[in-house]
A and B are shown apart, each in its own frame.
Chain A
Amino acid sequence: EVQLLESGGGLVQPGGSLRLSCAASGFTLSSYAMNWVRQAPGKGLEWVSVISVRGGTRDADSVKGRFTISRDNSKNTLYLQMNNLRAEDTAVYFCATEAEPGTLFYWGQGTLVTVSS
Chain B
Amino acid sequence: DIVLTQTPLSSPVTLGQPASISCRSSQSLVHSDGNTYLSWLQQRPGQPPRLLIYKTSIRFSGVPDRFSGSGAGTDFTLQISRVEAEDVGVYHCTQLTQFPYTFGQGTKLEIK
Cβ contact within 8 Å between B55 and A102: yes
Cβ of A47: which chain B residues have Cβ within 8 Å of it? 100-103
Please tell me if A35 contacts chain B, counting CB pairs below 8 Å.
yes
A-B contact count (CB 8 A): 59
Cβ contact within 8 Å between B55 and A44: no
Cβ contact within 8 Å between A94 and B49: yes
Smallest distance from the beta carbon of B96 to chain A beta carbons, Å? Answer: 5
Please tell me if B66 contacts chain A, counting CB pairs below 8 Å.
no
Cβ contact within 8 Å between B97 and A102: yes
Interface residues as binary, A77-117 with B (CB distance below 8 Å gives 1, 0 otherwise): 00000000000000000101010011111111110000000
Please tell me if A72 contacts chain B, counting CB pairs below 8 Å.
no
New A-B contacts (19) at CB < 8 Å, excluding given A47-B100, A60-B100, A104-B94? A35-B101, A44-B92, A44-B103, A44-B105, A44-B106, A45-B41, A45-B92, A45-B106, A61-B100, A94-B48, A102-B31, A102-B96, A103-B51, A103-B96, A104-B49, A104-B51, A105-B54, A105-B60, A107-B50
Closest to A108 in B: B48
Among A35, A46, A107, the residue within 8 A (CB) of B48 is A107
Chain A residues within CB distance 8 Å of chain B: 35, 37, 44-47, 50, 58, 60-61, 94, 96, 98, 101-110
Smallest distance from the beta carbon of B76 to chain A beta carbons, Å? Answer: 14
Closest to B1 in A: A61
Cβ of B100: which chain A residues have Cβ within 8 Å of it? 47, 58, 60-61
The 8 A-B pairs at the shortest CB distance, nearest first, are namely A102-B37, A47-B101, A103-B54, A45-B103, A107-B48, A102-B96, A44-B106, A60-B100
Smallest distance from the beta carbon of B55 to chain A beta carbons, Å? Answer: 7
Interface residues as binary, B76-99 with A (CB distance below 8 Å gives 1, 0 otherwise): 000000000000000010101101
Cβ of B31: which chain A residues have Cβ within 8 Å of it? 102
Smallest distance from the beta carbon of A50 to chain B beta carbons, Å? Answer: 7
Smallest distance from the beta carbon of B29 to chain A beta carbons, Å? Answer: 10
Contacts A44-B92, A44-B104, A103-B37; is A58 near B99 (CB within 8 Å)?
A: yes
Contacts A102-B35, A104-B94; is A50 near B60 (CB within 8 Å)?
A: no
Subset of 29 A-B contacts with CB under 8 Å: A35-B101, A37-B49, A44-B92, A44-B103, A44-B105, A44-B106, A47-B100, A47-B101, A47-B102, A47-B103, A50-B101, A94-B48, A94-B49, A96-B49, A98-B96, A101-B96, A102-B35, A102-B55, A102-B96, A103-B39, A103-B96, A104-B41, A104-B51, A105-B51, A105-B60, A107-B49, A107-B50, A107-B51, A109-B48
